Structure 1
Amino acid sequence: MLAVFEQCIGKAPPELNVAAAGQRRECNSREETAARFRSRWPDSTLYKLANDNFLGLSHGGESPKHPRSIVVMEDIFCIFSGALDNICDLRKYYGLSRQATEAMIMVEAYKVLRDRAPYPPDQVIKELEGKFSFILFDSKTSTLFLARDREGSVALHWGVGADESLVCSDDPDLINAACGQCYTPFPPGCIFISGSGLTSFDHPLHKVKAMVREDDGAKIEAVIFQVDFYTRLHSIPRRGSASNWADAAVVEGD
């Protein structure tokens, strides 16, 4: 799977650029990344969105344990990779049919959060049992929503493209071509939402901090994001407006 979004939608953490500091970056443009994806996976599905943003899905190299699916409902796009162990319970909870896929469930969960805001996003993701990663985009509100399970069982990388756009993919070769050295695994047990940033869904009041790894010559090898249990975020009072649901990501405690 592949997603590329301009900076105003997917503003990546600045630490993703640290790995390429002072180095020449060999990156593909958004158009080149889309063309490379098409060439690598001719059977793929590619959705071209406004301002040259796009989403792509291919079943090439798919693991039977971690199938990929995509759904488009009411201008909401969701690519889901993996499987939910409690899918039957979630179907009942959201009032969906037995045929509803994991991607459909995530769209419904997002709509409930966006329109009625019963509780913050971290509480919703906590209810998911299984091995998964997903990319969801609401084209009406220009909201990007990413998540990965606690164990990081399903691959998901993110990085910064040549034009500072955010690139997400489960294909390390593809994201390496798109981002040069400016990419890293999306942190397990975390969510990312446009306007709210990166949050741990198990520890929403603790900061997710970038850790820089260096080799023996002090050259940066990688940037890894992980929960910093020594840094606690300030609690923000919950708002009543449904339009502000994304800001509630760090409202409630662990």
Structure 2
Amino acid sequence: MTQSPRPLNTQVAHIARVYDYWLGGKDNFAIDRQVADMMKEDSPEVVEGVLGNRAFLARTVRHLASEHGVRQFLDIGTGLPAANNTHEVAQSVAPQSRVVYADNDPIVLSHARALLTGTVSGATAYLDADLRDTKQILREAATTLDFSRPVAVMLIAVLHCIPDEDDPAGIVQQLVNALAPGSFLVLSHPAIDIHRGVRKAAPRMNQLMQTRLTFRSHEQVASYFDGLELLDPGVVRVPDWRPAAEADRANPAAVWGGVGRKV
């Protein structure tokens, strides 16, 4: 789908550009760097945690592609392209994998169109859509993905951008309801109940952010998997989800994550 690009507001921080700065990227503005540095002051482990969350994405995609034969991925809240994007990991295991990305930031959109390209035998597509536009995402993703077959929905550090009044659990349920049996939900979510610095930083960040962030507890994050069969080890800190090396396990990420299967 092609839409006219929305104007950029360089005076208000956007979470995708804040993450880009933490990951060493250059597609960010002064206000994004201000918010990112403020968060680092209150929660010094945040940059390592962001890297730990990216590693969780790569491990889960690799596991689903290699161990469960998943060949279709819907990655919502993509963020700016970085190392080990979903299609890169999936297509390194199975070149025929099909991946659809969705995000709603104009800078993300322009970079995704240029950089998120797939293999000849697979497919990679990009949707300009907000997670709350669930029906639109599912409708447009169906031009690339076959929802009668298993799909892995990736919600990596995106649900904290959805306030409680917008019913994040209902959004997750709509996505799961659209999936065939044998599909998966992969979800990670910044935690309110791991590091104290997050409690201090969140209100300050929200004064400068375009999107109000809501950090949640283990119990709240685990509830998003209701009705699904959790893969071991369940909902844990993302470094503890099947770490590939001791460096993974040692990461201080204050992020809950898990993988659930629709049966």
TM-score normalised according to structure 1 size: 0.29
Q: Which has the higher strand share?
A: 1
Q: Which has the higher helix share?
A: 2
